[in-house]
Chains A and B, each alone.
Chain A
Amino acid sequence: MPHDHHHDEHDHTEPPSDLELRVKALESLLVEKGLVNPDTLNTIIDTYEHKVGPRNGAHVVAKAWTDPEFKQALMTDATEAVASLGYCGRQGEHLMVVENTDDTHNLVVCTLCSCYPWTVLGLPPAWYKSAPYRSRAVSAPREVLSEFGTNLDEDKKIRVWDSTSEMRYLVLPQRPLGTEGWSEADLQALVSRNSMIGVELARAPDSGAEASQ
């Protein structure tokens, strides 16, 4: 099971854990042997901690909601359409967008590891990589959705996408009712990361941009 998620909060007078020491030793060894450049490590961390993240995907979704031509291009060739907004690279080489409709809801998982569309969503959240999600997203999708507070009608079909190849899937959530006339920038605030994985719907306009459900 995933260990506790609060390593950062521990009292810093504690000695480092065996794991911290093991990683430090490995890093020192690799640097000493000239196999990694320490500045490169910092660049990689900075890229995925501060630059590439779910705001990219929210931009894609809000544009698709407001620009029919872009939406058509996105549904035809998502890799190219997303690249036209400047989002491309590692773990986004082969993108497909799957659209939620009145009849069908889409949910994305990687049962075998943690495949995820980095270029539009950044790195996956801890729960996406966890055994509980990976095991049940395919076998009990309604139960999984309810654990995120998402309760769908029985007659709504769920399509689960298991990311077993290098194809990466992004859910296009339905545009919330009551947002007629909203600008693309305002709409972006309604597009949560979770709605683009498919475990939630886009936020309602009166929910406040920070509410997650």
Chain B
Amino acid sequence: MKGGHDLGGQSGMGPINPEPESQEPVFHAEWERRVFALTLATGMLGKWNIDESRHARERQDPITYIENSYYENWLEGLERLLQEKGLLAPDELAGNAVISDTDSAVQVPDPQLASKILASGASSEREARSEALFSVGDRVLVRSSEGTGHTRAPRYVQGMNGIVSAIVGCHSFPDSNAVGVHEGATLYRVSFLGKDLWGTTGANSEVLVDLWEPYLSAGIS
């Protein structure tokens, strides 16, 4: 999908105005702390994966996505997932329902287990089932994405030619993972010249983008 989140190369977003590093708090308000922790804690219930979580935020109206602050987008995504996965009923969320009991099969991590999960992480590597189609140095063309599904091919490289700079390995394919299909695909690091993508503002720069094999076709020399 080409949603409001797909921001690479978008014009008119204004100056960055970074806060000085030494003065910036990790969270800017108590509600941000809570949204962050609720998102991670409910993620540990195992009802959705990272790509489903990203896709839940991306499916918002693009104007709302851009107008929202960062953790507002997390909150939107979380409320959507909790309902879609059947953990909360819409009328429970609206505050006008008798609250139903949670299925006792749901395992809710205690602080010790949560700490262990955070400290161990989860690899996205998968067992390779086929040889990589492209080699380092090959010219590849990024296909145009279709439909409203999740993808990690940014709009700004679609239809562009790049050069394979590395074969990263076989990693979980986001487009499938976002619909609950767990399969791997070869992941490449593809190099694009800034001047090809952007003209003068990209002079003497190179953009490296990690792209899975299904996003690529043989490039045009």
Give A contacts to B, CB under 8 Å: 1-3, 5-8, 19-20, 22-27, 29-30, 32-37, 39-45, 47-49, 53, 88-94, 109, 111-114, 119, 122-123, 125-127, 129-136, 138-144, 147-148, 154-167, 192-194, 199, 210, 212
Q: Which of B22, B38, B168, B201 contacts A167 (CB 8 A)?
A: B168
List chain A residues, Cβ under 8 A from B70.
Answer: 2, 114, 126, 129-130
B46: CB under 8 A from chain A? no
- Chain B: interface secondary structure? mixed
Q: Is the CB of B79 within 8 A of A47?
A: no
Closest B residue, CB atoms, query A25: B95
Query: How long is the Cα–Cα vector from A123 to B78 in the complex, in angstroms?
Result: 18
The distance in angstroms between the C-alpha atoms of A159 and B189, with both chains bound, is 13
Cβ-based interface call for B167 (8 A): no
Instruction: Select B17's contact among A39, A88, A113, A127, beta carbons within 8 Å.
Output: A127
Is the pair B206, A45 in contact by a Cβ cutoff of 8 Å?
no
Residue of B nearest to A43 (CB): B111
Chain B residues near A (Cβ < 8 Å):
5-11, 13-22, 24-38, 40-42, 44-45, 50, 54, 57, 66-67, 69-70, 72, 75, 78-79, 82, 87-88, 92-93, 95, 99-102, 106, 108-111, 114-115, 117-125, 152-154, 156, 168, 171-172, 187, 189, 194, 197-198, 201-212
Q: Tell me if A144 and B187 are in contact (CB < 8 A).
A: no
Chain B residues whose C-beta falls within 8 Å of the C-beta of A165 in the assembled complex: 124, 152, 168, 171, 187, 210, 212
Set of chain B residues within 8 Å of A212, measured between Cβ atoms: 20-22
A93-B124, A167-B168 given; A33·B18 CB < 8 A: no
Chain B residues near A39 (CB-CB < 8 A): 110-111
- B contact residues around A89 at 8 Å (CB): 118-121
Cβ-defined contact, A36 with B21, below 8 A: no
Contact A92 B121 (CB under 8 A): yes
CA distance A147 to B20 in the complex (A): 12
Q: A27 contacts which chain B residues (CB < 8 A)?
A: 34, 38
- Write 25 A-B pairs (CB below 8 A) sorted by A numbering: A7-B31, A19-B72, A19-B75, A24-B31, A30-B42, A34-B101, A35-B45, A44-B41, A88-B119, A90-B122, A112-B7, A122-B26, A125-B18, A131-B7, A135-B8, A147-B17, A154-B203, A155-B204, A157-B205, A160-B207, A160-B208, A164-B154, A165-B210, A166-B124, A193-B21
Cβ–Cβ contact A157 & B8, under 8 A: no
Q: Give the nearest-CB partner of B204 in chain A.
A: A157
Complex Cα distance, B210 from A171, in Å, reads 17
Chain B min CB distance to A159 (Å): 5
Chain A nearest CB from B114 CB (Å) reads 5
Cα–Cα distance between A3 and B29 once the two chains are bound (Å): 12
Task: Report the separation of the CA atoms of residues A210 and B22 in the bound assembly, to the nearest whole angstrom.
Answer: 7
With A48-B36, A89-B120 as given contacts, are A37 and B110 in contact (CB-CB < 8 Å)?
A: yes
CB atoms of B92 and A29 under 8 A apart: yes
B110 and A40 contacting across the interface, CB-CB below 8 Å: yes
Beyond the given pairs A131-B7, A159-B208, A161-B208, 19 more chain A to chain B contacts, judged by CB atoms under 8 angstroms and listed by A's residue number, are: A3-B69, A8-B25, A8-B29, A23-B35, A33-B99, A36-B108, A37-B114, A43-B115, A44-B118, A48-B26, A112-B152, A132-B14, A132-B16, A147-B17, A158-B194, A163-B210, A164-B209, A164-B211, A193-B21
Asked whether, in the complex, the Cβ of A40 is within 8 Å of the Cβ of B114, the reply is yes
Q: Provide the bound-state CA to CA distance between A129 and B7, in Å.
A: 11
CB contact between A26 and one of B6, B22, B38, B57 (< 8 Å): that residue: B38
